[in-house]
Amino acid sequence: MLGLRKNKASWNWVAHGKHPCARDYMAVGQEDALSQAFAGWVEKGYELLDLKAKKEDPTRSWRFWTRTPREDMVIVGLVRDSCDAIGRPYPLMLMGSGLVPEFHKRWHLFPYACDRIWTQMEQLASRNYHDVSRFGEELITIRSPHLDWERYERELANILSQVEGKDFLDNMKASFTSVAHDKEFFTILNPNASQGLFAMIILWHAAVRAHIAGAPSAVFMGGTPGNIYLAVFLRPLSPADFVTLWSANKEKGN
């Protein structure tokens, strides 16, 4: 583990997995119990994939957030297909953890606070670096989520006003029939002319909040460039969930 000092916001940023800047598996940042658990989840899930599944579509990428047992302690991250300098494939996981005041009440607005973080993580994952040290220097420049709940509420209200608000959320209710039993929800995101992809993500967060009690355990947004999904888990993640995410196009259809 390459240790790096934390940024001033006291969020802990960690990277695990493979990137072309390293000749093998790398671990960068201040490792803690949360990062170890998530890296273990990726490892166990990836081991369950057969060789064909690992190679058939090397463009999978998922943004995510998860809550933790501690109230308002949240994880924000990205996991995507990658490889080391020799070309051997293995996912790269980037994640940060820290406190988000009022998260338990405002979690449906959290993507607003994380969009910049996810964009920076995607840039980190795709850039060429001469060595791991340079990658690590960039990792700790990630800032904590920008929290402006009142502005986010106004932006959500504006989006809802364009899609007939309550009626739109009510029409989504049928999509949640399996949630109570399966404790998970999976849907393809279909942006249209009036609402882009990010707006659809926000609308689905609002719809989930309207139909479940409390915050989900985890929300993933991604897939492949041609098929973007939203996956919501109301229970702890299992390695089989990683397989589901990595097999989204094949298992869920489009």
Q: Strands 73-80 and 61-67, how do they pair?
A: antiparallel
> Which pTM value belongs to this model?
0.90
Residues 157, 251: Cα–Cα separation, whole Å: 34
Q: Average pLDDT by consecutive 10-residue portion of the chain (254 residues)?
A: 49 97 95 95 94 74 96 96 94 97 97 98 94 94 96 94 69 66 83 77 90 92 92 95 86 46
DSSP code at position 83: B
pLDDT of residue 74: 97
pLDDT of residue 202: 94
pLDDT of residue 189: 87
Domains of the chain plus CATH, in order, are 12-252 (3.40.1730.10)
Nearest to 98 by CA among 147, 26, 152: 147
Residues 91, 25: Cα–Cα separation, whole Å: 10
pLDDT of residue 174: 66
pLDDT of residue 7: 42
pLDDT of residue 58: 72
